[in-house]
Amino acid sequence: MISAGDFRNGITIELDSNIYQIIEFQHVKPGKGAAFVRTKLKNIKDGGVVEKTFRPTEKCPQARIDRNDMQYLYNDGDLYYFMDNTTYEQIALGVEQIGDSLKFVKENEMVKMCSHNGNVFAIEPPITVELQITETEPGFKGDTATGATKPAIVETGAKVNVPLFVEQGETIKIDTRTGEYLSRV
């Protein structure tokens, strides 16, 4: 149990049979009345954000989130298969659990699987990945001072905006959190 007076950013709590992560918190001491803690909470399972106030003495159970390294093996229709490299146990997850978190992940790459009480709720890809461009318009020189970009499709099928000088067949580095081009490799 954690009291509202001890809240910090990033802590996960159980509240109303859901799991929330504290995004922002603020201790408020008004001139009149009792102090309270104003929080902004993100529902870990569906991504919704709610605002809630607590009295500083209120207690909530702290949720324990397990993050395990798993290897993404392959996709078979609506199922995605992962393997734990220490026990060689395989897990299959459906499209609704995966969402678009694997759009920059190739087969046989490592990902972090987030679970609570054995229930997987999210897949965290590596922060940066290196992917080859399979399709883009031909590049041309000049006019790069404006920072213009063009669409490109990488080997996983995801679309990325890249600078005009990047050619088809090149390998680029992508930030998976934002889906932005970082550099050529």
The domain 129-184 is classified under which CATH number: 2.40.10.120, 3.30.530.20, 2.40.50.140, 3.40.50.720?
2.40.50.140
Note the pLDDT tens digit of each residue in 111-148: 988 888 877 877 888 888 898 999 888 866 665 567 78
3-state secondary structure of 143: coil
| pLDDT recorded at residue 51 | 93
**pLDDT reported for residue 144:** 59
Nearest to 106 by CA among 47, 163, 171, 150: 171
Class (C level, CATH) for 2-60 = mainly beta
What are the domain boundaries of the chain?
2-60, 66-124, 129-184
Q: Which two tokens stand for residue 63?
A: 């949720």
- For 9-40, what is each residue's pLDDT tens digit? 888 898 888 888 888 999 989 888 889 999 99
How far is it, in rounded angstroms, from Cα 18 to Cα 79? Answer: 26
Mean pLDDT calculated for residue range 156-184 = 87
The third-level CATH classification (topology) of the domain covering 66-124 is: OB fold (Dihydrolipoamide Acetyltransferase, E2P) (2.40.50)
Q: pTM for the full model?
A: 0.69
Task: Reduce the DSSP state of residue 6 to 3 states and report it.
Answer: helix
